Structure formats: structure tokens, C-alpha cells
Amino acid sequence: MAGSMKAQNPHVPSEAESKRGEAIYWDRKALARAVEGRIPLEADIRRARQARPISPGQEAIDPRMCEILDGKYRARFIDCASERKGGRVLDIGCGPGWLALELGRKGLIVDAYDLSSEAIAVARRMLEENPARDGFGQVNYYVHDVTEIDLGRERYDAVLGWSAFHHLPNLSQFMDRVWLALKPGGIVATLDDLPQGWLEQGIQRFFSMLLPSYHRTYRQKLILVLRRLLKLDKTDPLEGLSPMEGHSTQEISPLLYSKFEVLKDVHFNAFATQPLLVLKGPDAFRYVVARALVRLDRLLCQTGVCSGFYRMIIARKTVHG
Ligand SMILES: C[S@@+](CC[C@H](N)C(=O)[O-])C[C@H]1O[C@@H](n2cnc3c(N)ncnc32)[C@H](O)[C@@H]1O
């Protein structure tokens, strides 16, 4: 009886509980990624070094693979924030700080916020160790909920969030505050994951099955496929998502289109990311396969056959917006 009552009234976490869970989730990720003194890509894209997973499930670090997958979009993000020399930029949900660090290296003044104290600890360490000090601007890291700080009025030349806006609640209110915080002509740039369609998921599964991976042998993959066919696979589709992730993904683009002048709106990587991030084999093989798969992915996205898993939008605050 008690069990059935519980099933009918499952505990729905409050926003405060979800945010605490979010901080813990990203604390754990930051510790796992930086294990044994590793420098993950999320901490410093220039100093990250290739590393294979130590244990099953651990992420590989592969700067060259990430350059193939999304290097051109990262560069675009950094460039759009650097329009004004010595400008002031807000990095929301900065994580271990790769973006804030790159912006500092462009001579910008950056305020970077994250809920995770461990991610900020890694970011501060990277800032201290940063060897590229010539012309460096300034990076200020804060462990704080970015939705609860005073963003000020016309304080920033750019507000950026790389895989961060879709973790925020009450996005419409937050975007109003971003609009006020931006100087006239200032830039807002977002990169967020979108729900994956059945076609994209099918193609991703096909390549994950076909290509060798760090995480599963071909025998384990075959068993997984059979379990899926027999509907025995009970993997939660939300597994792997952080507690605050996903609820506002679909709200971002209408908000940007209604409040700002959109300069760039691009979908990319519909299915290539997952199989490539765990791709096993000699580097020459891996990078040839990666370039081919990314090219196919871009072609299918550009022709509208597939819809990208990531969406990057760059928009400007117009004077009369
Ligand atoms: C997917 S991670 C992206 C991190 C980083 N931008 C990167 O590119 O590696 C999302 C980050 O947003 C942070 N976050 C979520 N909600 C937040 C909030 N309300 N205030 C500040 N940071 C938040 C999380 O702690 C996490 O580090």
C-alpha cells in the first residue's frame, strides 16, 4: 500500500533541490575529468592532452577529435565575444573554464559563474598555470547561481553560455536581464543541446554499432541491440542528463528571435558526436573516420535530412530592440 502511494506521488524535487543536485553532478564530473592531474578540454583547450579512458565509462580526452567535431563553432563563439577590444564578457555556467580562459587570452575582462565549486577550483588552477600571459585580460571566477546575481545595466559587451542556457530555469526572465545587462550592440551567444529525433538516433546507433569503441566490445554491442529489439533494455532516456538540464532547450530560440537581432543560427552534429568521442583505434584511422563522418553529418544537416543535436545562436542587442 505504502509502495503504491509512493508510486502515485513520486517526489518532484524543488528548484532549490535540483540546483543542489546540479552542483553535485558537476562537482563529480570536474573531479573525474581532472583525475590523475589530467587537463580536460573543458578546462583548457590549448593545454589538454590526449588521454584514453582509465575505467569503463570514463571520458576520453582528445583535443584533435573535438577540433574536428566542433572546433569551428568554438572559434566562432570566441570571435563574436572579441568584437570590442578589451571588452567585458559574462560567461554563464562556465564549468572548468575553457571559454573564459580563451576570452582572457584575447585580452577581454571576463566574469565567469558556475554552481560547481569543484569546476571553479579546476578553472582557477588553470588560470594560475596559464602559460599564455602576454596581452592577457582578466578572468574573475565565482561559485554562484547566475540567475541570482545582479547583472547590472549595460555592463557587458557580450554574454555567452556554451551548453549552459538550457540549464537555467525561468529563462524568459533571465533573457530580459541579459538584454538589460548588454551594452547597445552587445552580443549574446548560446550553444545548447536539442532533443534527438528518431532518424538521428537511429543513424547514431548504427555508427556506434559499426565503429570500434572504448566503452563496449562488439559482443556487448550485439547483446545491447538484441535487448533493445526484445524491449528488455530499461535504460532511462534521461540517464546522463544533469538535474537542471533540458527543460528550457526549446525556449531559447524564440526568446532570442523576439528580443534580439539574430546574426547566426546553426544546427550541427546530428549523430557524429557520440560514436566519435569513444572511437578506438590508431589515430590515423580515427581521424580519417572522424572527418568523413562529420562531413556526412554536416551534409545531412545542411540539406535538412537531419536536424543537428547542437544549436548555436549568435544575436545582437539592437538599439531599439
Ligand atoms: C554542460 S555544463 C557546461 C560547462 C561549460 N560551459 C563548458 O563548456 O564546459 C553546464 C554548466 O552550467 C552550470 N550551471 C547550471 N546551472 C547554473 C546556474 N544557475 N548558475 C551557474 N551555473 C550553472 C553547471 O554547474 C555546469 O557546470
3 state SS of 160:
strand
Helix, strand, coil in percent for the chain, rounding step 5: 45, 15, 35
Give Cα separations from 175 to 49, 140, 189 (angstroms): 36, 22, 12
Return d(Cα 300, Cα 13) in angstroms, integer: 39
- Measured from CB, residues less than 6 Å from any atom of ligand 1 are 22, 26, 42, 93-95, 99, 113-116, 119, 145-147, 162-164, 167-168, 244
Q: Using most ligand atoms within 8 A of CB, pick from 31, 42, 89, 115 the residue to mutate for ligand 1.
A: 115
Alpha carbon of 168 to ligand 1 centroid (Å): 9
Alpha carbon of 141 to ligand 1 centroid (Å): 13
> Which residue minimizes the CA distance to atom 15 of ligand 1?
167
Cell 572548468, located at residue: 96
Convert 210-225 to b/e letters by CB count within 10 Å (16 or more is b): ebbbbbbeeeebeebe
User: Counting beta carbons within 10 angstroms of the beta carbon of residue 102, is it exposed (0 to 12), middle (13 to 18) or buried (19 or more)?
Assistant: buried
Alpha carbon of 86 to ligand 1 centroid (Å): 25
Alpha carbon of 163 to ligand 1 centroid (Å): 7
Cell 533573457, located at residue: 175
pTM metric for this prediction: 0.91
Count Cβ atoms below 10 Å from residue 202 Cβ, excluding itself: 11
Name 313's bridge partners.
Answer: 190, 265
Hey, what's the cell of 204?
547514431
User: Counting beta carbons within 10 angstroms of the beta carbon of residue 120, is it exposed (0 to 12), middle (13 to 18) or buried (19 or more)?
Assistant: buried
Is the Cβ–Cβ distance between 115 and 245 less than 8 Å? no
For residue 215, what pLDDT is reported?
83
CATH of 15-48+71-195+245-270+307-316 among 3.40.630.30, 3.20.20.140, 3.30.590.10, 3.40.50.150: 3.40.50.150
For residue 106, what pLDDT is reported?
96
Going residue by residue through the chain, which has 321 residues, state the pLDDT in tens, using 9 for 90 and above: 344 444 556 688 899 999 999 999 999 999 999 888 899 999 999 999 898 887 777 788 999 999 999 999 999 999 999 988 999 999 999 999 999 999 999 999 999 999 999 999 999 999 999 998 899 999 999 999 999 999 999 999 999 999 999 999 999 999 999 999 999 999 999 999 888 899 999 999 999 999 999 888 888 888 888 888 887 777 766 567 899 986 667 889 999 999 999 999 999 999 999 999 999 999 999 999 999 999 999 999 999 999 999 999 999 998 765
Q: Which helix (H) or strand (E) holds 195?
A: none
